[in-house]
Chains A and B, each alone.
Chain A
């Protein structure tokens, strides 16, 4: 419940209903940008900085109306920008509070000046995710959707954003609800068999119930199959580039970065001397952690450097071990590989351009590990290398663009527990145990999926039994 905690943390000491404002559109020059205000009284704040062409105040307008005019400092004639103002009145808005959106020209200067005017007029700057926190606290979105919003805000790449947006629109909830409904339907049969065994009911036979259990298990599997990938897409992959000095780690990093891809965030290491760069490969973020800055001048520094490298390794999801294909694999390379192998590892034979003929796979004392020969200098096989990164990160799966991915570790964990419980229910039925044992497991599974959507279906069960069967002697 990471998001929940964060929201609670934010909520402490902050008034819950003051007026907040923020730039609601992406940073950077765009056609139109929006400054959004929310909170009771925010329409008056907007009126202070916005003058409509028809001279009618925003406060006098009904909800869902658009006014054309300009933004400027209160009491001054200077126009900051022309603007369209949208008024939404409580509770018919995202936060269920009064909301005004000021649409101005999208340049950063115009947006920032508009925001500053709003802040001077009585609003305070919204914290990250605060509009959503208000939407959640007003009952406008549920927890799973709120978590998705945070994922959208944090999304490093377009694909991660897409996954989160699909979750926000409830695609995941819908699939989970379907599973919950199927589990509840199973309970109808299992519970009816024990509560109404002395009634003359047309109950499903055990084989049919087991088939239904299998079907539920399959649908949980289908969603879960995308869980690891979902996490990869949401959180990105930390890829540690390691290797002996002078094997070409830095040039490999440059080769990967120089390409015409979005460099999302260059984050300089703050507590360590390693450089992190993020690249997107087919929409998946790879945080490349380069340990190249470490130099071995004497034993003391070297030991510190090794410690740092190890630390990068410990935090990584994947390792790229760079070796010098031209100079040949050394015993030190093999030792490094041995250390790296606890994680998915790719060995990169760099400097293929120095070899006259196509290189053979060197003896790495490890037949299993992926090996690829590239040239960081000429860019040869860098494309292939990226595909290899992606394929290893996704466990060999190809991402479909419209897939619902379980991108949240909490959700994946709940689904895994549900899956295990469903499997135990299946075992109880095939072992010939009475229905209440399987029902106990199905209830466990239901409470697991209920953790995702928050829905509890147990009260429905009896209604369904009565709906379907003729009860009563």
Chain B
């Protein structure tokens, strides 16, 4: 039904970063009329920090976003300058892709997708206020005058809520370097009763390519094999521009130590918590005084730019000191800084205020995703954005929310962590956050999530076909492995002996051989051509199914236990203050988080095992009462 009113939408998304783009696209894919409001069209899907997508844990997230019909994987594939498989020597569950992407082409490619999406309207302006009617979201006021109406608003404001930037002693308002902060919006959210916290993050200085001495640093090439994030991207060979590795020196640390009082983290200019996974060089030198050197990766930013990113040299020291610091790093002695490193402090919404559908518990119709929820990372933001956009779309149609379990996806692990435990520092995904890590792999992200995407309407025809053909290929490969037998031969037995295995004396199936420790499909492909026809991802999935069947089975058994706990619902109106015996802290936290299940309750911070067992007894009693 075409809507003629240019100010009336189903869903309004505030902010066009990685979270906002996926949120708007997901809602539009479900047929909703969507407004994507951004301060600047030039900064859609901007990469203000590291010019890379993926990484360990994050790479799995990108695959999950893709499996759910999201755009990040495809855009990263299209704009990669280099792509690499991390944890190459580890098992399939922890291998992950990371791409250096072109900082100029990535936003352009995303903008093209946004502008081509039916039902999605890009609006340049400042969202100043979220409006409500009887406590329920009713729309957004733009620039203080234009009123947009919608039943759902997705807040993806990144670092813009009361953002302030710091370099050395100077601090000024701003959401990112050169961009204004969103002050009225922050006030509007507070007026809606939402609580805010304060986080900070920082970025390193950039230098000019022609000022770097590449003879003094080590080249770090991408992987030789063709790699891609998206299940629907064809095989492609990215440019594979190298990154370069150098290290800080004792002199670097000397400069920092002598001038540490000028660092914003010491001077007090930046008081908020920053991400532990990505500390500034100042902090690394303070916290690990015994280390004489830290790695610095020099990364290309774009084919159209001569700027290089100095991963590992994050700092918001005064500019002359930033220069003094890089002078001490081999290869950067004469480097020219094109833009200084800086810190940004911003308001975030402590995510315990959200339900597992990313909807604010006290403001129906308001959803939030990304850095505004206290996370860090483009991938974390995009994954939340997709879930928030999906649920905002469903909310406008009165459909029940979709939640993703910890046993289903890293998205589920992350969202559960956020809304159950809250955040003490900017949250990043790690594989060790997942208790079912062997099941949440890059290779099987589509098996885990694409059926859901198809059911919900997030998967287009290409994806559905691709999914079906990939599943069929896995099946064929598994049958082939069981049916194809290798005859004993001197060369095969010599190869088996290399891996410490005994010789075969009669024909053995590929599956049998694959189960031996140390034997991979690649080892076997030299003895039979039948494996050549299958794609890498298909081989990985089949290998896990056969070679690691025992481990997978035991993890599946743990999932069953997990689901029993998750399956014990807690009444929404349970009054924790009426429950005797539960500790004061647990009572407060449970009242705040309002877990939906006993399993979720057990993960709320401040809730002890004793509290959980008491809660369990109370729930049984409630059951008994209702049963009687």
Contact = CB atoms under 8 A, between A and B. Distances in A.
Interface in A188-221: 191, 194-198, 200
A459 interface: yes
A473 interface: yes
A440 B544 CA distance: 14
Interface in A431-473: 431-437, 439-441, 443-444, 447, 450, 453-456, 458-459, 461-462, 465-466, 470-473
B219 interface: no
Contacts of A187: 432
Contacts of A443: 435, 558
A142 interface: yes
Given A136-B614, A139-B611, A455-B609, A198 B581 contact: no
Given A16-B580, A439-B437, A471 B277 contact: yes
B475 interface: no
A7 interface: yes
B287 interface: yes
A365 interface: no
A321 interface: no
B554 A473 contact: no
Nearest to B417: A459
Interface in B89-133: 89-91, 93-94
A458 B609 contact: no
Contact of B609 (A4, A142, A436): A142
A466 B421 CA distance: 18
B397 interface: no
Nearest to B555: A440
B438 A195 contact: no
Contacts of B583: 139
Interface in B264-295: 276-279, 284, 287-288, 291, 294-295
Contacts of A17: 580
A196 B435 CA distance: 17
A434 B91 contact: yes
Given A436-B90, A444-B558, A458-B435, A11 B284 contact: no
A35 B57 CA distance: 61
Nearest to B280: A472
B517 interface: yes
Given A137-B580, A472-B277, A431 B621 contact: no
B558 A447 contact: yes
A351 interface: no
Interface residues of B, number: 57
B348 interface: no
Contacts of A459: 421, 603, 605
A313 to B, nearest CB: 36
A434 B94 contact: yes
Nearest to B93: A436
B315 to A, nearest CB: 12
Nearest to A192: B432
Contact of B554 (A136, A196, A444, A471): A444
Interface in B599-628: 602-603, 605, 608-614, 617, 620-621, 624
A440 B614 contact: no
Given A139-B610, A454-B612, A472-B276, A436 B617 contact: no
Contact of B621 (A12, A462, A472): A12
A472 B90 contact: no
A96 B276 contact: no
A473 B89 CA distance: 21
Interface in B300-335: 311-312
A21 interface: no
A278 to B, nearest CB: 33
A462 B421 contact: no
Contacts of B608: 139, 454
B61 to A, nearest CB: 14
Contacts of A431: 517-518
Contact of B278 (A96, A142, A196, A472): A472
A109 to B, nearest CB: 36
A191 B435 CA distance: 11
Given A197-B90, A434-B94, A142 B613 contact: yes
A436 B91 contact: yes
Given A137-B581, A436-B93, 19 more contacts: A12-B624, A16-B580, A187-B432, A195-B432, A200-B294, A200-B295, A436-B94, A437-B91, A437-B438, A437-B548, A450-B609, A454-B609, A459-B421, A462-B430, A471-B276, A472-B276, A472-B278, A473-B294, A473-B297
21 contacts: A136-B581, A138-B580, A142-B610, A194-B432, A195-B57, A195-B432, A197-B86, A197-B87, A424-B554, A428-B551, A431-B517, A431-B518, A437-B548, A443-B435, A447-B558, A454-B612, A466-B276, A470-B284, A471-B277, A472-B278, A472-B284
The 5 closest A-B pairs by CB, nearest first: A454-B609, A434-B91, A191-B432, A434-B90, A473-B312
